[in-house]
Amino acid sequence: MAGAVLALLLPLLAAMAASAQDDAAAASARGCAGEAFSANRAYAACSDLPRLGASVHWTYDGAAGELSVAFVAAPAAPGGWVAWGLNPSGDGMAGAQALVAVPSSSSSSPGVWDVRTYNISGYALGEPGPIAFPALDLAAELGSDGRVRVFGRLSLAALGGAGVLNQVWQVGPAVTDGVPAPHAMAGDNLAAKAKLDLLTQTTTAVSSDDGGDSIAKKRNIHGVLNAVSWGILLPMGAIFARYLKTFRSADPAWFYLHVTCQLIGYGVGVSGWATGINLGNLSNGITYTLHRNIGITVFALATLQIFALFLRPKKEHKYRVYWNLYHHTVGYAVIILGITNIFKGMAILGVEQRWRTAYVAALCVLGFAAVILEAVAWGVVAKSRRAESKTFGDASNGHHLPRSV
């Protein structure tokens, strides 16, 4: 019976899926021109923006200096936020006069959204407040397609009839206690800006040779350097030290492999740490406190490890056991904190899933190698102990004592 019902439902579900795909494809083909708005809203012009799958619709009354606008974009995640604004003083976030739409905190319905205005003075959103362009009729709604539509009227009289404006837009992943969470730092997020030509009714993407793309490249370099150093080279060095020294034939090769991995990893890590400091200086007002603090801790502990090499007692020294305890504890702490911070950095950058998967795969390879070597090492140790026990037993039975004359 269940099989018959399933046989009947499958063609119906397939037809529904195909219909939905056709509708989505048709809507995509129409672009912004196929957008319909509630309350009979209509606009004279529209443009599909080059980043984040957004579009902007507008009608400009030059005589009155009034701009009616609708911005459409999907939040970065359910419960996130969207924003659009004009920047009279630059082409980036700092100086933008923005409309930010967030889920309403006074309603339990997911379709109710609030619109706030922000005069953004730096590289952080700040607090909501009046903007340079008096805003009227602000509204927002969540469509069945998961995209948010933001509406408003802006008085642009203060611009003196300027026809080409800098516009910026953004999407974010979450809103906590009414406060929009920071957006991702991926390339599309940093390059979400364009020229809005009110007179010719067009938009033009801002040149990719700007500071936003430069910062994006530096962030990517920062992430790669830290992933390779703290996340791959240092764990490899620890594996060499823990397992290869079990084999007598690997002595002293294991030591040189261990030191080489750690020194190269530390050097690459210092470069990544310095790049992060530089990014912090370029991004005033944007601070990822936990990520920064973990990074500082990792760098400090790793530096202590390097200096500890010069204070390493000889094997027979009575304090060598305490040095070993310190060295192992700090070393494993650096590796754990480093890997943790790499994943936090990936979340901040909003990296593609394939890069996350690639790094997880690299960790799995290292982990698998460690498990195999752990088993082999225990086997070698057990065999060595059995051999020593047999030797001791033979000596106790007089097998190695000289014969009496």
pLDDT confidence band for 34 (50 / 70 / 90) = confident
16, pLDDT greater than 60:
no
Phi (first) and psi of residue 128, to 5 degrees:
-65, 150
Looking at the DSSP bridge assignments, the partners of residue 179 are 176
Q: What's 77's DSSP letter? A: S
Higher per-residue confidence, 4 vs 337: 337
Average pLDDT over residues 83-91: 87
Side-chain-side CA neighbours of 56 within 13 Å: the count stands at 33
The percentage of residues in the chain with a pLDDT greater than 90, rounded to a whole number, is: 31
pLDDT at 27 over 60: no
Q: Is the pLDDT of residue 54 over 80?
A: yes
Lowest-confidence segment of 16-25, 225-234, 284-293, 394-403 by average pLDDT: 16-25
Distance CA 41, CA 68 (A): 10
* 328 closest CA partner among 300, 314, 299, 308: 308
Residues 227-250 have a mean pLDDT of: 87
Beta bridge partners of 81: 172
Compute the average pLDDT of residues 61-86. Answer: 90
pLDDT at 404 over 50: no
> pLDDT at position 200, please?
64
Per-residue pLDDT, 60: 87
Residue-wise pLDDT for 187-237, tens only, equals 788 888 888 887 665 555 544 444 455 666 777 888 899 999 999 999 999
Cα first-last separation, the chain: 96
pLDDT at 405: 33
Residue 33 pLDDT:
78
The answer to whether 128 and 100 are in contact (CB under 8 A) is yes
Which residues, 6 or more positions from 235, have their beta carbon under 8 angstroms from its beta carbon? Answer: 335, 339, 363, 366
Query: pLDDT for 112-139, tens place per residue?
Result: 889 999 998 876 778 899 998 889 999 9
Residue 102 phi, psi dihedral angles, 5° rounding = -135, 155
User: From residue 71, how far is each of 98, 149, 198, 230 by CA, in Å?
Assistant: 11, 6, 15, 42
Domains of the chain with bracketed CATH: 39-206 (2.60.40.1210), 212-390 (1.20.120.1770)
Retrieve residue 9's tokens. Answer: 């439902």
For residue 153, what are its two tokens?
């009227």
Q: Which residue has the tokens 């509708």?
A: 23
pLDDT band at 3 (very low <50, low <70, confident <90, very high): very low
Higher pLDDT, 88 or 2: 88
pLDDT score, position 241: 87
Which carries the bigger pLDDT value, residue 220 or residue 328?
328
> What is this structure's pTM?
0.52
Q: What is the overall mean pLDDT for the chain?
A: 80
Give the tens place of pLDDT for each residue, 347-390: 776 666 788 889 999 999 999 998 998 888 787 767 767 766 66
The pLDDT score that the predictor gives to residue 183 is: 87
pLDDT of residue 244: 82
Instruction: Examine the pLDDT at 245 and tell me if it is beyond 70.
Output: yes
According to the model, what pLDDT value does residue 158 have? 77
pLDDT digits (tens, 9 = 90+) for 256-309: 899 899 999 999 999 998 888 887 776 554 567 888 899 999 999 999 988 888
φ, ψ for residue 194, nearest 5 deg: -160, 170
With 0-12 / 13-18 / 19 or more C-beta atoms within 10 angstroms meaning exposed / middle / buried, residue 83 is buried
**pLDDT on residue 102:** 92
